[in-house]
């Protein structure tokens, strides 16, 4: 299954595409990056750029699933509204390719990837690197790692849904790694 994860933002939108293979659920990186629109003056033009570039990623990678980080609330209402615009554009791009997006809250993503819903961005990045075998030289903006974390969360949720009822799930990443040493790239 090919999964596109999206971390929406009007200045920087992160995206990450992974592939899960077979019953083993091994994660493989397809591509990741950011869509930057900081230098674009109007919100409407930024949204157009986000839509066009996400549409190109969808066309290029043909994902089976799309996962997007759900909205969280800022103290600044304007920031929250702008984030909503970026999320809407990402959802529209996904829906026009007939791939309805799944949504995950930031705490849920951190809990799925790190095992702690209050994890820092550095902890999320570290686990994403570990799970996908990325070297420190592959440094990208944090938004790209956040998008990969969204995709990994979706892969984990899909994997859990496919498991037979007789199997127990790990409560955290330490338990998961101990129970599945062959699924972690080193």
Candidate list 7, 19, 31, 64, residue with the active-site label: 7
Measured CA to CA, the distance from residue 172 to residue 176 in angstroms comes to 6
Candidate list 31, 64, 103, 143, residue with the active-site label: 143
Question: Residue 143: in which H helix or E strand, if any?
Answer: helix 142-162
Angle between helices 106-113 and 142-162 (to 10 degrees): 70
Examine the residue annotation and report whether 122 is marked as an active-site residue of this protein.
no
- Provide the token pair at 174: 């330490």
Count of H helices and E strands in the chain?
Answer: 6, 5
Examine the residue annotation and report whether 69 is marked as an active-site residue of this protein.
yes
Examine the residue annotation and report whether 64 is marked as an active-site residue of this protein.
no
C-alpha 36 chain-centroid distance: 17
Candidate list 19, 59, 69, 125, residue with the active-site label: 69
Catalytic positions are 7, 69, 143
């Amino acid at each position: 299954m090919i999964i596109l994860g999206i971390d929406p933002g009007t200045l920087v939108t992160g995206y990450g595409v992974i592939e899960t293979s077979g019953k083993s659920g091994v994660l493989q990186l397809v591509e990741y990056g950011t869509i930057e629109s900081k230098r674009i003056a109007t919100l409407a033009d930024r949204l157009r750029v986000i839509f066009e570039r996400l549409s190109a990623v969808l066309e290029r990678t043909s994902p089976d699933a799309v996962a997007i980080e759900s909205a969280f609330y800022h103290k600044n209402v304007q920031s929250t509204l702008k984030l909503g615009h970026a999320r809407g554009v990402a959802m529209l791009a996904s829906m026009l390719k007939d791939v309805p997006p799944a949504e995950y809250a930031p705490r849920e993503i951190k809990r799925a990837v790190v095992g702690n819903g209050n994890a820092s961005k550095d902890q999320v990045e570290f686990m994403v690197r570990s799970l996908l075998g990325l070297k420190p030289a592959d440094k990208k903006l944090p938004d790209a790692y956040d998008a990969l974390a969204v995709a990994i969360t979706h892969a984990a949720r899909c994997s859990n849904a496919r498991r037979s009822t007789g199997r127990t799930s790990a409560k955290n990443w330490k338990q998961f790694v101990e129970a599945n040493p062959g699924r972690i790239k080193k």
